[in-house]
């Protein structure tokens, strides 16, 4: 997933056609399931945008996205979950929390400092 999104973000491989690339990214930015990576990234830094693709079935919830911070920095995040007493879309709040923590650790004001509590 990460390699696929990297190609999409950079317009390489199957995404060399700029029109197709733009259309896919536009659709990913508008998809309706926003409680995973988009919610977590926005909670970590208001103004962050996400183009993502979710997947869910039974006790599996996945989200993969291209995250753009307000300053223009971009990163790709893929979170895949299974089990842990989730059903339906219940795992997306966990994905949001993971996203928020990753973004704070890597891009936040304390980036590079040891964090004792991730809540």
For residue 119, the model assigns a pLDDT of 58
Rounded mean pLDDT for each run of 10 residues along the chain, 119 residues in total? 96 96 97 95 95 89 95 95 69 91 86 67
Which pTM was predicted?
0.86
* Residue 59 to residue 45: CA distance in whole angstroms: 29
- Residue 37 CA: distances (Å) to CA of 40, 77, 119: 5, 8, 16
Query: Residue 114 CB: number of other CB atoms within 10 A?
Result: 6
For residue 43, the model assigns a pLDDT of 95
For residue 111, the model assigns a pLDDT of 74
For residue 117, the model assigns a pLDDT of 67
For residue 90, the model assigns a pLDDT of 66
**Is residue 62 within 8 Å of residue 6, measured between CB atoms?**
no
For residue 105, the model assigns a pLDDT of 87
């Amino acid at each position: 997933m990460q390699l696929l999104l990297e190609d999409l973000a950079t317009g390489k491989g199957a995404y060399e056609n700029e029109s197709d690339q733009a259309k896919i990214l536009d659709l990913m930015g508008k998809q309706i399931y926003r409680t995973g990576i988009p919610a977590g990234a926005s909670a970590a830094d208001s103004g962050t945008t996400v183009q993502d693709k979710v997947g869910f079935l039974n006790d599996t919830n996945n989200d993969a996205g291209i995250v753009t911070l307000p300053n223009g920095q971009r990163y790709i995040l893929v979170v895949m979950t299974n089990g842990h007493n989730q059903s339906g879309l219940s795992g997306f709040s966990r994905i949001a929390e993971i996203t928020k923590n990753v973004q704070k650790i890597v891009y936040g004001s304390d980036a590079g400092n040891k964090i004792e509590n991730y809540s």
